[in-house]
């Protein structure tokens, strides 16, 4: 099968979140299964042209009221040499540091024009190569114009007549909403403002158009696929998603087990497996040392690696006067370590808590080595997410024998099995209501099990480490979706 991925980001070239990891991993693993996969994305300023190969001749891309000329560069996807990545090189649109914006300007004013250039350019790259896909797979709002173009423009051409589209929602909270006056930047007929589902409350909504026009829609876990069809989790899209529920599928992302594997992880002071857990004790000792905590093998260590934003439940955990973290650390014999950055109030509160709590230590910012050390050295990993489309850290934790403490939502609900203290079964600890009290009680439950049911904890660790989160399973489900998209879209 020939598959074209259209995305604003893909590792290692550009990344703002899990989308970039998922696109590259899915493309690479599909190629390992024998499929012909290509990725089209922008060439941002930080992507060095010297490391890319320039394709001969410029590329004319219809966009706005006319046409833009771009260069096209290519390079193999690192680790997956059969996947070619094609970069649209347009200095005015993409020659800047941010993907969607910067701290000073979180949402570039010309994003509709920029990402319209990406979508139109993807089809023009296919024309340039003489390579026409069976599937165009668009990811998130920034590439949502691609299924619109396929359905309403490109299928009128013989080369794309038998191409189908799949649109993946990685996070419904980001929809690409802009003023109606920006519709002219999209380079399509004004009749599609309503006809392709762009109009929403007098503005344009890229994600809504993708949901309206794609042959199949996926999101990154079965539970999240259900949640986004409810008023509570639908971000205003629930009605449309219910209308299209027959083509909505939830597929949990896989994990890069080359990078996240306690047996081989080069960032750990000692490796280990479910058959020999001695290395995990070494990692715990080094984790305590790295954060300046007493080196106590008997105390449970709770870890957290996160963006410090509302989605991650930081208000309920760190909120001044009401968050549960202070009481957790003040009343339980535990240690708590954190790596993360985000909203300034939260960073400030974390620094304040460190000065009051001798058993709580944090590193503001991000550190790949410390993130791996937390996953390996901690006994528990806390994820009190307000919503979590898929989540990766809970899967890393399971593979490292670090039991997740999570809210029952999205991908967390699909990958963690709640502890049953009557049978000893489970792989983690779950709660439903996102409240400071629920977080406190569930952490307390896990700590109680650590001190009173150590045999259960050890059995849960082994069970957790035996989970299969490889991309092969996810790829097989995507291939089923691709086949269904072709059946639906190319009749």
String of DSSP letters for 319-350: -TTT-SHHHHHHHSS-EEEEEEEE-HHHHHHH
The answer to whether 240 and 234 have CB atoms below 8 angstroms apart is: no
- For residue 269, the tally of other CB atoms under 10 A from its CB is 15
The span from the CA of 441 to the CA of 206, in Å, is 41
Structure-derived torsion over alpha carbons of residues 101, 234, 410, 99, reported in degrees to the nearest 10 = -10
The span from the CA of 44 to the CA of 78, in Å, is 17
The span from the CA of 291 to the CA of 312, in Å, is 22
Paired sense of beta strands 135-139 and 2-6, if any: parallel
Q: Taking the model in full, what pTM does it have? A: 0.93
Neighbouring residues of 41: CB distance < 8 A, sequence distance ≥ 6? 6, 7, 8, 9, 10, 13, 14, 85, 86, 87, 88, 118
Per-residue pLDDT of the chain (491 residues; tens, 9 = 90+): 999 999 999 999 999 988 999 999 999 999 999 999 999 999 999 999 999 999 999 999 999 989 999 999 999 999 999 999 999 999 999 999 899 998 888 899 999 999 999 999 999 999 999 999 999 999 999 999 999 999 999 999 999 999 999 999 999 999 999 999 999 999 999 999 999 999 999 999 999 999 999 999 999 999 999 999 999 999 999 999 999 999 999 999 999 898 999 999 999 999 999 999 999 999 999 999 999 999 999 999 999 999 999 999 999 999 999 999 999 999 999 999 999 999 999 999 999 999 999 999 999 999 999 999 999 999 999 999 999 999 999 999 999 999 999 999 999 999 999 999 999 999 999 999 999 999 999 999 999 999 999 999 999 999 999 999 999 999 999 999 999 999 998 76
Taking the mean position of all CA atoms in its chain, how far away is CA 97? 21
The answer to whether 291 and 370 have CB atoms below 8 angstroms apart is: no
The answer to whether 331 and 436 have CB atoms below 8 angstroms apart is: no
CA separation, residue 21 to residues 179, 252, 263, 366 (Å) = 31, 13, 22, 17
Place of tokens 């208000």: 315
Among candidates 248, 246, 242, 240, which has minimal Cα distance to 218? 248
The answer to whether 251 and 481 have CB atoms below 8 angstroms apart is: yes
Neighbouring residues of 194: CB distance < 8 A, sequence distance ≥ 6? none
The span from the CA of 472 to the CA of 338, in Å, is 32
The span from the CA of 420 to the CA of 398, in Å, is 17
For 96, the token pair is 């800047």
For 102, the token pair is 């910067």
pLDDT attached to residue 491: 66
- For residue 200, the tally of other CB atoms under 10 A from its CB is 17
Sign of the CA dihedral with 227 first, then 231, 237, and 242 last: positive
């Amino acid at each position: 099968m020939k598959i074209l991925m259209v995305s604003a980001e893909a590792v290692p070239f550009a990344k703002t979140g899990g989308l970039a990891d998922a696109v590259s991993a899915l493309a690479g693993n599909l190629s390992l299964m024998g499929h012909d996969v290509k990725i089209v994305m922008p060439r941002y300023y930080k992507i060095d042209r010297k490391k890319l190969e320039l394709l001969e001749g410029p590329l004319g891309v219809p966009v706005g009221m006319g046409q833009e000329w771009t260069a096209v560069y290519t390079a193999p996807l690192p680790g997956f040499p059969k996947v070619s990545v094609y970069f649209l090189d347009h200095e005015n649109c993409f020659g800047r540091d941010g993907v969607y914006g910067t701290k000073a300007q979180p949402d570039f004013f010309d994003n509709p024009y920029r990402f319209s250039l990406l979508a139109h350019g993807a089809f023009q790259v296919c024309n340039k190569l003489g390579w026409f896909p069976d599937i165009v797979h668009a990811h998130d709002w920034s590439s949502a114009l691609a299924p619109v173009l396929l359905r309403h423009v490109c299928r009128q051409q013989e080369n794309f007549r038998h191409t189908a589209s799949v649109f993946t929602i990685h996070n419904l909270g980001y929809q690409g909403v802009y003023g109606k006056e920006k519709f002219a930047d999209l380079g399509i007929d004004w009749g599609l403002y309503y006809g392709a589902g762009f109009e929403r409350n007098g503005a344009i909504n890229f994600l809504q158009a993708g949901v309206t026009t794609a042959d199949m829609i996926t999101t990154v876990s079965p539970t999240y696929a259900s949640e986004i069809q409810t008023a509570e989790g639908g971000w205003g899209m629930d009605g449309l998603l219910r209308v299209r529920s027959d083509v909505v599928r939830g597929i949990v992302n896989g994990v890069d087990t080359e990078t996240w594997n306690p047996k081989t992880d080069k960032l750990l002071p000692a490796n280990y497996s479910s058959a020999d857990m001695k290395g995990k004790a070494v990692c715990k000792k080094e984790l305590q040392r790295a954060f300046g905590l007493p080196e106590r093998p008997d105390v449970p260590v709770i870890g957290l690696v996160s963006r410090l934003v509302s989605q991650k439940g930081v208000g309920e955990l760190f909120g001044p006067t009401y968050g549960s973290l202070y009481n957790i650390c003040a009343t339980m014999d535990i240690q708590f370590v954190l790596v993360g950055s985000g909203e300034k109030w939260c960073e400030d509160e974390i620094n304040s808590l460190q000065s009051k709590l001798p058993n709580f230590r944090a590193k503001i910012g991000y550190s790949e080595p410390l993130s791996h050390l937390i996953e390996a050295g901690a006994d528990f990993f806390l994820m009190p997410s307000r919503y979590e489309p898929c989540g990766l850290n809970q899967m890393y934790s399971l593979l490292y024998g670090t039991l997740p403490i999570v809210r029952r939502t999205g991908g967390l609900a699909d990958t963690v099995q709640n502890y049953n203290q009557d049978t000893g079964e489970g792989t983690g600890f779950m709660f439903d209501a996102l409240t400071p009290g629920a977080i406190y009680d569930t952490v307390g439950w896990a700590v109680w099990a650590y001190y009173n049911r150590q045999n259960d904890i050890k059995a849960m660790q082994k069970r957790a480490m035996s989970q299969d989160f490889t991309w092969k399973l996810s790829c097989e489900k995507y291939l089923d979706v691709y086949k269904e998209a072709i059946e639906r879209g190319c009749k």
